[in-house]
Structure 1
Amino acid sequence: MTDINPYPPGFEEREDLRSAFIREITLQQLEVSTRAVEDLNVESASIPRRLVRYWHDPTNLPEDVRACLESWDRLADDGFEFHMFDDASAAAYIADTYGKREREAFDRCSHPAMRCDYLRMCFVLAEGGLYVDADDVLLGDGWKHIFRDGKLKLQPLCYDITASGMMPNAEIWRSDLPTDGRIFYVNNDPIAAPADHPVLRRALFRATEKLLSEDRFPEIQSTTGPGNLTAALAVHARQLQLADLPFDFELLRDWELVAEMRWDLSYRGDTRNWRNVYGC
């Protein structure tokens, strides 16, 4: 009797299968030997020390957001380049770097958060580097771990439906954590990668296709946000599994020691917060 494929083609578009697969590869990462990781690192491209952030309107940057951005300034002493985009400079960058489809897709992004989602994929795919949200505050020197090799680095997340809230990061890595009523996925903050990583290439293509479809009001999370990136990662990781190849990405276990997202910021109470516009 032939075993049924638990992840058939197109599984990434089903939330239940995508969540189950992300859970599987999260636990699989715990089993990867140090030797295997080191073998992969020898051949992988490096992640450039290039930091990219986004705020849609530079003439109206809240002071509390500015303080978050400035917490990263000390990385200049470690040789980082800094790239700060707004709506206008992002549109110009995409026009200069990509084609007509990407320019049109960016124009269809209806909210600053969506435009930020799209720009981060475009920039890190083309240039490589580290993207962090404007409301992230740098805490310590744990960022150095991210640059030790050239694997894509992403943060795993888990939403507890019953509790209507996010689970603590440490809980995600528990092998005995029940999966019922929980959605496992990856965040699109942070994103650290060398240029031309296949997951980002797939994520940008998928987002562009959705933005240029007939749906004029696409949902942010699944179109350009974490849902989109999770779908791209799932397809890529499954292809590596089937080819018996090592993963060229890493799910971060301790991002909260590197940076902290500040929730008590002034803009979160108005329409600059996409959750207030889309009811999420």
Structure 2
Amino acid sequence: MSRQKITDEQISNFVKEIVQRTFENLSFDTNKIPKKIIQFWDNSEQLPTDVNECIQSWSQLDSLGYERLLFNNEKAREFILEKLGNKYTNAYDKCYHPAMQSDYFRLCYIFIEGGCYIDADDVYSGADINYLFNDNRLKIQPLCYDISTQSMVSPSIFTKVGAYSSSWIFYFNNNPLIAKSKHPIIEQALSLATLLLLESDTSDSLPEIQSTTGPGNITKSITNILRETNIEEQLILVLTDWENIAKSKWPLSYRNDARNWRLSNCQDFKDSNLSGFYEKKF
């Protein structure tokens, strides 16, 4: 199918069909994803205590053979430069907020190494996650936002077959991001984010975070790939129960200042003395 521009409504409807579809007798590549948990906090010397508690909740996986890696801005940039080169480093340098840096870095890391990227504000419940690493499909969390109530819709509601409201927006989160290296959807998302960042004139206006590097980017990339291949069951596993595995902690100290991406979207964060992370929902 030839690539053509589709509307936001068409993307939302496409995601809805994927989320509410069930598959039986699946056959897919069983090459396993590396058992690595990757996280990011831009300034490791200014890691808030409450965020560190969220990060440490995943330490119980250490005894199960998982490797946990925490990157800061400097280490993330070094990784991108070493593994991908100047083009991608230049794109990373245009990420003006820690939220954007973490968005872009996770695409770079998962594309090169594979593994599981998790936001630093997610608290692990202790549930089994081994099944997420047993095949090389992209594991992705669906979300649904209700414009009329300005609130998220519960997965127990929007994932039911036929559930729909004209005020709902279906999309995919980029947290968690679990995939093999060189996954075609991650490759597409990284390519799109790189293009948008390099084309942006940050001296004139700053690009919108979510659509450039965040959930909007991954949703569009999934839609582009799956509309062309029509083999979503081979490429992705929709995680309708991720909230049983981890939940984003509220409140956290950084959410009320410029470290929260919502309060800094399209604004120059580099002039601020604050640095940190963010949560990833509408």
- TM-score under structure 2 normalisation? 0.89
After superposition, residues 38-57 of structure 1 pair within 5 angstroms as 39-40=27-28, 43-57=29-43
Check conservation: 2:158, 2:164, Cα contact below 8 A: no
Cross-structure match for 2:250: 263
Query: How far did residue 126 of structure 1 move?
Result: 0.5
Check conservation: 2:200, 2:207, Cα contact below 8 A: no
Q: Which of the numbers 192, 195, 198 marks the counterpart of 2:178?
A: 192
- The 1:101–1:182 alpha-carbon spacing in structure 2 relative to 1, beyond 3 Å, is same
Question: CA-atom RMSD, angstroms?
Answer: 1.6
Equivalents in 2 of 1:218, 1:138: separation in Å? 32
SS at match of 2:170: strand
* Stretch deviating more after TM superposition (105-114 or 75-84): 75-84
SS at match of 1:195: coil
Letter in 2 for 1:256: E
Cross-structure match for 2:225: 236
**Is the aligned partner of 1:154 residue 2:140?**
yes
SS at match of 2:251: coil
**Is the aligned partner of 1:247 residue 2:240?**
no
Letter in 2 for 1:238: R
**Is the aligned partner of 1:223 residue 2:193?**
no
Check conservation: 1:44, 1:149, Cα contact below 8 A: yes
Equivalents in 2 of 1:171, 1:148: separation in Å? 28
Cross-structure match for 2:274: none
Query: How far did residue 112 of structure 1 move?
Result: 0.4
**Is the aligned partner of 1:67 residue 2:67?**
no
**Is the aligned partner of 1:9 residue 2:3?**
yes
Q: Which of the numbers 116, 120, 145 marks the counterpart of 1:130?
A: 116
Letter in 2 for 1:250: L
Equivalents in 1 of 2:139, 2:243: separation in Å? 14
Which runs of 5 or more structure 1 residues have no equivalent in the other structure?
A: 1-6
Structure with the largest fraction of helix: 1
Deviation digits for residues 179-233 of structure 1 (CA, Å, limit 9, x no counterpart)? 3111100000001111110000000000000001144210000000000000111
Equivalents in 2 of 1:207, 1:263: separation in Å? 29
Check conservation: 1:240, 1:247, Cα contact below 8 A: no
**Is the aligned partner of 1:276 residue 2:270?**
no
SS at match of 1:142: coil
- TM-score under structure 1 normalisation? 0.90
Letter in 2 for 1:25: I
Query: How far did residue 11 of structure 1 move?
Result: 3.7
Equivalents in 2 of 1:10, 1:18: separation in Å? 12
- The 1:44–1:144 alpha-carbon spacing in structure 2 relative to 1, beyond 3 Å, is closer
Cross-structure match for 1:22: 15
After superposition, residues 95-114 of structure 1 pair within 5 angstroms as 95-114=81-100
Check conservation: 1:153, 1:250, Cα contact below 8 A: yes
Cross-structure match for 2:79: 93
Equivalents in 1 of 2:61, 2:228: separation in Å? 36
Which runs of 5 or more structure 2 residues have no equivalent in the other structure?
A: 267-281
- The 1:235–1:77 alpha-carbon spacing in structure 2 relative to 1, beyond 3 Å, is same
Check conservation: 2:122, 2:247, Cα contact below 8 A: yes
Check conservation: 2:226, 2:232, Cα contact below 8 A: no
Aligned length: 264
Query: How far did residue 148 of structure 1 move?
Result: 2.7
Moved over 4 A (4+): none
Deviation digits for residues 238-264 of structure 1 (CA, Å, limit 9, x no counterpart)? 1221xx674311110110010011020
- Identity among equivalent pairs (%): 37
- The 1:172–1:82 alpha-carbon spacing in structure 2 relative to 1, beyond 3 Å, is same
Deviation digits for residues 28-85 of structure 1 (CA, Å, limit 9, x no counterpart)? 2x2x10x22xx21xx3421110110000111111100010000001111111112111
- The 1:259–1:245 alpha-carbon spacing in structure 2 relative to 1, beyond 3 Å, is closer
- The 1:214–1:257 alpha-carbon spacing in structure 2 relative to 1, beyond 3 Å, is closer
